[in-house]
């Protein structure tokens, strides 16, 4: 199976924020975890302590840092200055640009209106334990985003954005590969309402299908908002 870009989310806890006054380029700086180790998310995945080692080594060697973005597909809101890890998880240090998008994001994060970070990546090594995918190695972290919703933002799509109607969401799910009955079940009860037998998929195929559907719905939502 071809690798697919995946997404993971971390709550912004113990974030450090600093306002940068009289700086023409930057509105503020921050330090935060963008992923925590040994925490089972809603997929369910667990990021293992050494999974970022190759990516961190790549960045430390001078490779291009990930973009700092609003909602994966939105505007750039700053720059990533440093990525490293401790015993808790992977840490990002960055600065919000002194642009409208950057200043708005700084205010949203400081006020608590935005309280989650997400990043995109490819899984290169993993193992399954008790139906949880333990992520042993990742690659291709090319962006880190501030997001409104985490790993399961589409349990009730009508609550995400009024532009994303049930009909549009159902069509997107069908395009992603779900059957009509499966799409209706997802929209009424969430992805967890389906099991592998319902989807007639093995675990990996189903989880990739689920992620593809989530991304398609999020992208549709973004395009609808952008078109206004």
Domain assignment of residue 17, yes or no: yes
Neighbour tally for 67: CB within 10 Å: 16
Domain assignment of residue 166, yes or no: yes
Of residues 83 and 171, more confidently modeled: 83
Residues 10 and 101 in one domain: yes
User: What per-residue confidence (pLDDT) applies to 1?
Assistant: 44
pLDDT category of residue 2 using cuts at 50, 70 and 90:
low
Residues 142 and 165 in one domain: no
Residues 67 and 172 in one domain: no
Domain assignment of residue 1, yes or no: no
Q: pLDDT, tens digit, for every residue of 35-89?
A: 889 988 767 889 999 999 999 999 999 999 999 999 888 899 999 999 999 999 9
Q: Are 12 and 32 in contact (CB under 8 A)?
A: yes
Q: What is the mean pLDDT of the chain?
A: 78
Domain assignment of residue 152, yes or no: no
User: What per-residue confidence (pLDDT) applies to 127?
Assistant: 96
User: What per-residue confidence (pLDDT) applies to 52?
Assistant: 97
Residues 132 and 174 in one domain: no
Domain assignment of residue 131, yes or no: yes
For 86-110, give the secondary structure using H, E and C: CCCEEEEEEEEECCHHHHHHHHHHH
User: What per-residue confidence (pLDDT) applies to 41?
Assistant: 77
Interacting residues of 5 by C-beta distance below 8 A, sequence separation 6+? 120, 121, 122, 140, 215
User: What per-residue confidence (pLDDT) applies to 227?
Assistant: 47
Q: What percent of the chain has pLDDT over 70?
A: 69
- How far, in Å, CA of 207 to CA of 81, rounded? 32
Task: Single out the residue in 85, 116, 147 at which a domain terminates.
Answer: 147
Task: Single out the residue in 147, 168, 195 at which a domain terminates.
Answer: 147
Q: pLDDT, tens digit, for every residue of 184-208?
A: 776 665 555 555 444 444 444 555 5
Task: Single out the residue in 119, 147, 175 at which a domain terminates.
Answer: 147
- How far, in Å, CA of 200 to CA of 202, rounded? 7
Residues 22 and 57 in one domain: yes
Residues 122 and 100 in one domain: yes
User: How many domains is the chain partitioned into structurally?
Assistant: 2
Residues 28 and 98 in one domain: yes
Residues 56 and 141 in one domain: yes
Residues 161 and 218 in one domain: yes
Residue 185 is given by DSSP the state H
Structural domain for 216, as ranges = 157-227
User: What per-residue confidence (pLDDT) applies to 82?
Assistant: 96
pLDDT category of residue 215 using cuts at 50, 70 and 90:
low
Please state which of the ranges 4-18, 28-42, 48-62, 171-185 shows the lowest mean pLDDT.
Answer: 171-185
Q: Indicate the pairing of strand 6-11 with strand 116-129.
A: antiparallel
> Which residue matches tokens 């399961």?
152
Does residue 22 have a pLDDT over 80? yes
CA 133 vs CA 117, 160, 167: distances in Å: 21, 27, 32
Residues 13 and 89 in one domain: yes
Distance from the Cα of residue 165 to its chain's centroid: 22
Residues 98 and 168 in one domain: no
Interacting residues of 121 by C-beta distance below 8 A, sequence separation 6+? 5, 6, 7, 8, 55, 138, 139, 140, 141
CA nearest to 45, candidates 152, 116, 127, 132: 132
Residues 176 and 123 in one domain: no
Average of pLDDT values for 97-115?
A: 92
Q: Are 11 and 116 in contact (CB under 8 A)?
A: yes
């Amino acid at each position: 199976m071809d690798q697919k870009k995946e997404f993971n989310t971390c709550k912004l806890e113990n974030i450090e924020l600093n306002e940068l006054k009289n700086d023409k380029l930057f509105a503020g700086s921050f330090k935060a975890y963008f992923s925590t180790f040994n925490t089972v998310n809603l997929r369910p995945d667990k990021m293992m302590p050494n999974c970022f080692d190759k990516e961190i080594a790549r960045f430390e060697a001078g490779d291009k840092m990930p973009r700092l973005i609003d909602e994966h597909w939105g505007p750039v809101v700053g720059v990533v200055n440093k990525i490293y890890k401790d015993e808790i998880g992977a840490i990002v240090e960055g600065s919000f640009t002194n642009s409208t998008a950057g200043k708005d994001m700084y205010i949203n994060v400081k006020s608590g209106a935005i309280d989650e970070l997400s990043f995109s990546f490819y899984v290169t090594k993993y193992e399954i334990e008790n139906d949880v995918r333990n992520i042993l190695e990742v690659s291709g972290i090319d962006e880190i985003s501030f997001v409104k919703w985490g790993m399961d933002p589409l349990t009730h799509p009508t609550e995400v954005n009024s532009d994303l109607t049930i009909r549009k969401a159902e069509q997107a799910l069908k395009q992603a590969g779900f059957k009509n009955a499966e799409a209706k079940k997802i929209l009424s009860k969430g992805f967890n309402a389906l099991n592998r037998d319902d989807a007639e998929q093995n675990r990996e195929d189903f989880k990739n299908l689920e992620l593809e559907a989530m991304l398609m719905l999020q992208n549709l939502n973004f395009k609808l908002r952008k078109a206004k």
